[in-house]
Structure 1
Amino acid sequence: MSIDFERLSYTYQADSPLAFQALHEITFTIPEHSYTAIIGHTGSGKSTLLQQLNGLLKPTTGSVTINGQTITAETKNKELKELRQEVGFVFQFPEAQLFEETVLKDIAFAPQNFGKTEEEALEIARQKARLVNLPEEVWEKSPFELSGGQMRRVAIAGILAMEPKILVLDEPSAGLDPKGRLEMMELFESLHQEQGLTIVLVTHQMNDVVNYANQVIVLEKGTVIKEGTPDDIFSQPDWLKEHHLGLPDTLTFAYRLAKKGIPFSEGMPYDEASLAHYLGELIVKRGANNG
């Protein structure tokens, strides 16, 4: 299920004195089963772009095509019901959308709303609760009795209960401590690898981009200014600084090592695996020379 943006523009309050164009002729493709990160500083148009993916917002001009269904300014909401089952959204603080009296009932709400019987929906809920590692002892509890991280897992399980083919993540680890953030990102990675979901991630966490994404889209003032692999993007740290984008922690650490005399003749490593591999080879080489 690829996603194709074709000269898509979006204007808030179009044809009014308060009109503001948030997106300008966006054209790019998100391949099926890819893990795409969309980055850019606040106000670059990231959230507006995400909301085009299931018709929460519709293009003012241009189009977005998802699995063969094209959304334009003329597309009616009734035409989007099936698509909205296939595109699952995890917004910031999704636990704010919880409302049922038990964990299982909350997870079962979406499939029951889309036509499953109560028992079918509850069986789906059990499957998804296991998938996101919610222990059985919490299934009959109120979701509001759980920890923040568990509440977020309930909300994500409810989204997965719709069996989406695309998972859209808008700062999904916001507000979590480092351990909870890592657990959440590893959950999404396992869904990508094991369930074959296409992942679209908006984040300010450059570490998550280099550790998980295989495609990166950079937005600035509603325009795509760069796209490529993490290697393409993070091999140009001066360009990132010029556009007020952060560096992954590993790349920052590598620069500190370079200032202390550690040579990086083949380019600066931007992820942990690359840095560890390079330093390991350097230690072996220096040990051999000293021997």
Structure 2
Amino acid sequence: MPSAHVARRTFLATAAAGLYTATSAAASPLGPIRIGQIGVGHAHASKLSVYRNNPDYEVVGIVEPDEQLRKAAQERDPYRDLKWMTREELLNTPGLQAVLVETPVRDLLDHAAVCVAAGKHIHIDKPAGQSLPQFAAILQAAEQQKLLVQMGYMYRYNPGIVLLRQLLRDNCLGQIFEVHAVMSKVVDAADRILLAEFRGGMMFELGCHVLDLVVGILGEPADVTPYLRHSAPLNDNLNDNMLAVLEYSQATATVRTTAMEVDGFRRRHLTVCGTAGTFHL
């Protein structure tokens, strides 16, 4: 299987705001990368513990303007004993190189824009807000300053996906004509209310992970047909049962995601069909 290792300070920025890095701080005379985090309100904000446990990184501090969230986080292991500071204090910390933006989704882009304006590399959790123009402006500003932007898509370096990319590069599957992807789970009533804020519903929240993979395989579609459904007997207006059909000149792709699939974690899959073979993960 091809290696997913990338040089420690080498990053690949893409139109999808990808940034990928691997580690080797012990051998580097530059010392650890100094990072901080803004926000604990995102569902995946606790990933900070990975950085704290990695000698390649030095976590200099954390920001959380919401007092209630901050007090709750201070007692949790990922944030325990960290230095709490304001956003201005963090961005002015000597030697700070990168910032993880882990606020509630509605606030991600505003904080990301401030960090880029301050000359910092950023990691933004997904999905990166609802404004494509604002996101595009952040990417443009980062490119102008030679800064790196990373999105928190979790499957790009899954070993199976790494293998798939190698198979595609080697043309082992032939011409790709069909791709299917499914990513679903059961979302509880409280979280459904929070997600109902976003018109994109479960495709915005969860389907984005596999949609990212489909576009990585086939590129930008010629057309997209969305199917938005509210299927649960709950009065929360969440688009909880969704399908997207992506059309290409010689291929089609479907992406499904719901908030109601029992044991949905075990049925998540990606299937890629080509004229010389089929890949199923």
Q: Which TM-score bucket, shorter chain as reference?
A: under 0.3
Q: What's the TM-score, normalizing by structure 1?
A: 0.25
> More helix per residue: 1 or 2?
1
Q: Which has the larger radius of gyration?
A: 1
Q: Which has the higher contact order (CA 8 A, sep 6+)?
A: 1
